[in-house]
């Protein structure tokens, strides 16, 4: 729909701009109705007021690197990275930072490292992922096994609500729902003393959440990671309202500023590469490693190793025993080199009766060589021929550690039944498995086989008491699965939370709470993909192939040089 004439500076409808924002990471191509690049809180308020009056969705977007489709949609895409003010302030004495949502984790950690500090959660997208996007998905990564996901490190959030109000939500002990009033948070003169959204939450929803404590305890997965739905389980423990915003994927309001807790950078690291002869050995190996407090335990399944055969990583692959079914890459971080070497030795002894082969890395050079095996996959996947695409449709299942091997076996078997090639890897220390499906697009039945795989693997994750969304969020892809995962009562509470924050349903409709239709429609590949200009399609494909999500989509629309 065309933007109202009173907002020409906010909402753009040029077809090239719309095309440039039609894709993010993941599987979707959805051409939006408009694109806005706000430059201030006042702009955001105007957009919210307009969207409420016209019942049009606002899709918050940072780098667009989220996988399950929360940064694309049919409404107005709101680019919070392009023009919003940038802020990065550190307080080394209190080990804290305040950043705007459009700062990347890499930028924060470069600045913090000058003081021996860091934000530990480190998704593979950290070089381009905006911190607002990381809050939106409760992002995690390899080091979550020791340091937890983003939620653990967020102290306060500045939000813009559906009521056009701006205010801060703090951890308990602060002033949740009030404008910034601590020594480190600025006062927002336009902010109310109490956000209406928080009032509605506590008046209309909190009594029902409290009454459903036993159901929440019974139905939420007992996994080390879970970003499916709204975090009611964390809220009943913390009573921190910001816990509902963390992981909400832009469905409850705009997050504009974040206060972070930081951690010291450890002085020393050591690593292991552990080869296993069977998936049945996964549980014992991971359990033994987790007791030693590792900072990362990464899984490379046999399907991953098969991908590397014949590649530039023949040397690394050849070093593994031929009967290897899975590899664990392990990192330990300690305060001094002696302690790092010591815990690596403890790990070797703990695994000697389980592992097929163990290699150690006790120097930075050895560790880089060890992790080269993991890093080899991305360039291979990026260089796939045009008739084979890497699709992320079952990429985020997470199960209890004792059932990790069963889940990987279930993914393999489902792929075999559907005659699909898959590449399996992930964060074994958390039971979180990522899968890239590589369909042959020349086969006309590939969409049906992908959909069958999606249903079968999702059901396996739920049957094994896991979650379909470990660390990437639900997006449009997994929103339809929440009813099966949680049941009607919990889904009803999710709807109540959504309504309290967003009465008109303008924030990212179809994300978290399904809007109907198949989640595997509006794909970026296949005969039914929406038509966009060839040069823009090529530029978006190049971003996908190279991880170039830091590139401005406005620049692409204008035909600027890369």
Separation of alpha carbons 81 and 70, rounded Å: 15
The string of pLDDT tens digits covering residues 428-467 is 999 999 999 999 999 999 999 999 999 999 999 999 999 9
Rounded mean pLDDT of 258-278?
96
pLDDT score of 189 more than 70? no
Q: Is residue 392 pLDDT above 80, yes or no?
A: yes
CA end-to-end span of the chain: 30
Q: How far apart are CA 118 and CA 333, in angstroms?
A: 14
* pLDDT over 70 (residue 97): yes
The pTM of the full predicted model, rounded to 2 decimals, is: 0.93
Over residues 132-161, the mean pLDDT reads 95
Output the pLDDT for position 187.
Answer: 39
Which of 259, 272, 28 has the alpha carbon at shortest distance from 150? 259
Q: pLDDT confidence of 376, banded at 50, 70, 90?
A: confident
Mean pLDDT score across all residues of the chain: 91
Asked if residues 47 and 76 have their Cβ atoms less than 8 Å apart, the reply is yes
User: Is 456:397 a contact under the CB 8 Å cutoff?
Assistant: no
More confident residue, 146 or 376: 146
> Where do the domains of the chain lie?
11-82+522-557, 88-195+233-264, 268-381, 387-501
Residue 127 near residue 103, CB atoms below 8 Å? no
Query: Rounded CA gap, 547 and 271, in Å?
Result: 26
Distance CA 222, CA 391 (A): 28
pLDDT attached to residue 490: 98
Question: For residue 357, what are its two tokens?
Answer: 């082969």
Q: Assess whether the region 268-381 and the region 387-501 belong to the same CATH fold.
A: yes
How far is 348 from 54, CA to CA, in rounded Å? 62
Which band of pLDDT confidence, cut at 50, 70 and 90, is reported for residue 547?
Answer: confident
* pLDDT score at 311: 60
Over residues 486-531, the pLDDT tens digits come to: 999 999 999 999 999 999 999 999 999 998 889 999 999 988 999 9
Alpha-carbon distances, residue 268 vs 120, 149, 263, 334, 367 (angstroms): 15, 22, 15, 5, 11
Q: How many CB atoms lie within 10 A of CB 41?
A: 20
Rounded percentage of the chain residues whose pLDDT exceeds 70? 93
Task: Say if residues 242 and 145 touch (Cβ distance below 8 Å).
Answer: no
pLDDT grade for 59, boundaries at 50, 70 and 90? very high
- Helices 404-417/282-290 angle, 10° precision: 140
Rg of the chain in Å (alpha carbons): 23
Asked whether the predicted pLDDT for residue 178 surpasses 70, the reply is no
Angle, alpha carbons 539-108-130 (nearest 5°) = 35
**pLDDT, tens digit, 9 for 90 and up, residues 84-94:** 999 999 999 99
DSSP H stretches of helix in 429-481: 446-463
Q: How confident is the model at residue 172 (pLDDT cuts 50, 70, 90)?
A: confident
* CATH number, domain 387-501: 3.30.70.2740
Where does the pLDDT of residue 338 fall: very low under 50, low under 70, confident under 90, or very high at 90 and above? very high
**What are 244's two structure tokens?**
């509902």
Q: How many residues comprise the chain?
A: 562
The answer as to CATH 3.30.70.2190 being correct for domain 268-381 is yes
For residue 173, the model assigns a pLDDT of: 64
Assess whether pLDDT exceeds 90 at residue 387: no
For residue 280, give the 3-state DSSP assignment: helix
**CB 143 within 8 Å of CB 154:** no
Class of domain 88-195+233-264: alpha beta
Residue 7 has pLDDT above 70, yes or no: no
Band the pLDDT of 384: cuts 50, 70, 90: confident
> What is the predicted pLDDT for the residue at 135?
98
Query: Based on the number of CB atoms within 10 Å of its own CB, is 171 exposed (0-12), middle (13-18) or buried (19 or more)?
Result: middle
User: CATH number of 11-82+522-557: 1.20.1050.10, 3.40.640.10, 3.30.43.10, 3.30.470.30?
Assistant: 3.30.43.10
Mean pLDDT of 335-348: 96
- How confident is the model over 372-376, as a mean pLDDT? 81
């Amino acid at each position: 729909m065309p933007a109202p004439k009173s907002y020409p500076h906010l909402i753009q409808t040029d077809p090239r701009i719309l095309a440039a924002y039609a894709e993010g990471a993941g599987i979707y191509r959805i051409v939006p109705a408009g694109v806005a690049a706000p430059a201030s809180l006042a702009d955001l308020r105007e957009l919210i007021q307009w969207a409420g009056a016209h019942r049009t969705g606002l899709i918050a977007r940072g780098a667009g690197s989220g996988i399950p489709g929360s940064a694309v949609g049919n409404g107005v895409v709101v680019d919070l990275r392009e023009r919003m003010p940038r802020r990065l302030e550190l307080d080394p004495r209190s080990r804290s930072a305040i950043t705007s949502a459009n700062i990347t984790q890499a930028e924060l950690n470069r600045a913090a490292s000058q003081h021996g500090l860091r934000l530990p959660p480190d998704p593979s997208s950290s070089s381009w992922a905006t911190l607002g996007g990381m809050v939106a998905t409760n992002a995690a990564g390899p080091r979550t096994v020791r340091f937890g996901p983003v939620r653990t490190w967020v102290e306060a959030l500045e939000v813009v609500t559906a009521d056009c109000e701006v205010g801060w939500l703090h951890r308990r002990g602060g002033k949740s729902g009030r404008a910034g009033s601590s020594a480190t948070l600025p006062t927002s003169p336009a902010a109310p003393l109490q956000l209406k959204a928080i009032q509605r939450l506590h008046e209309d929803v909190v009594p029902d959440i409290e009454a459903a404590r036993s159901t929440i305890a019974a139905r939420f997965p007992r996994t080390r990671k879970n970003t499916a739905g709204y975090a009611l389980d964390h809220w009943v423990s913390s009573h921190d309202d910001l816990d509902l915003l963390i992981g909400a994927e832009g469905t409850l309001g705009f997050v504009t500023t974040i206060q972070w807790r930081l951690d010291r950078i450890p002085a020393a690291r050591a690593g292991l590469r552990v080869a296993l002869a069977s998936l049945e050995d996964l549980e014992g190996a991971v359990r033994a490693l987790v007791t030693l407090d590792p900072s990362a335990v990464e899984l490379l399944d046999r399907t991953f190793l098969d991908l590397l055969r014949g590649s530039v990583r023949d040397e690394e692959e050849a070093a593994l025993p031929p009967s290897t079914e899975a590899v664990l890459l392990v990192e330990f971080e300690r305060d001094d080199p002696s302690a790092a070497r010591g815990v690596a030795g403890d790990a070797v002894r703990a695994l000697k009766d389980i592992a097929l082969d163990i290699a150690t890395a006790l120097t930075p050079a050895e560790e880089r060589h060890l992790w080269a095996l993991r890093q080899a996959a991305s360039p291979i996947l990026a260089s796939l021929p045009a008739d084979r695409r890497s699709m992320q449709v079952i990429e985020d299942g997470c199960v209890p550690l004792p059932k990790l091997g069963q889940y990987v076996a279930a993914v393999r078997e489902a792929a075999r039944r559907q005659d699909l090639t898959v590449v399996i890897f992930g964060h074994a220390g958390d039971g979180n498995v990522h899968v890239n499906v590589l369909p042959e697009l020349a086969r006309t039945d590939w969409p049906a086989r992908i959909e069958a795989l999606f249903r079968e693997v999702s059901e396996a994750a739920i049957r094994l008491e896991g979650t379909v969304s470990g660390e990437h969020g639900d997006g449009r892809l997994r929103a339809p699965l929440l009813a099966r995962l949680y049941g009607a009562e919990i889904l009803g509470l999710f709807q109540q939370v959504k309504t309290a924050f967003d009465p008109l349903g303008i924030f990212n409709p179809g994300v978290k709470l399904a809007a109907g239709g198949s989640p595997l429609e509006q794909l970026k590949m296949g005969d039914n993909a929406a038509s966009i200009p060839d040069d823009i399609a090529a530029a978006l494909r190049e971003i996908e192939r190279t991880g170039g999500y830091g590139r401005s989509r406005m620049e692409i629309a204008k035909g600027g040089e890369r």
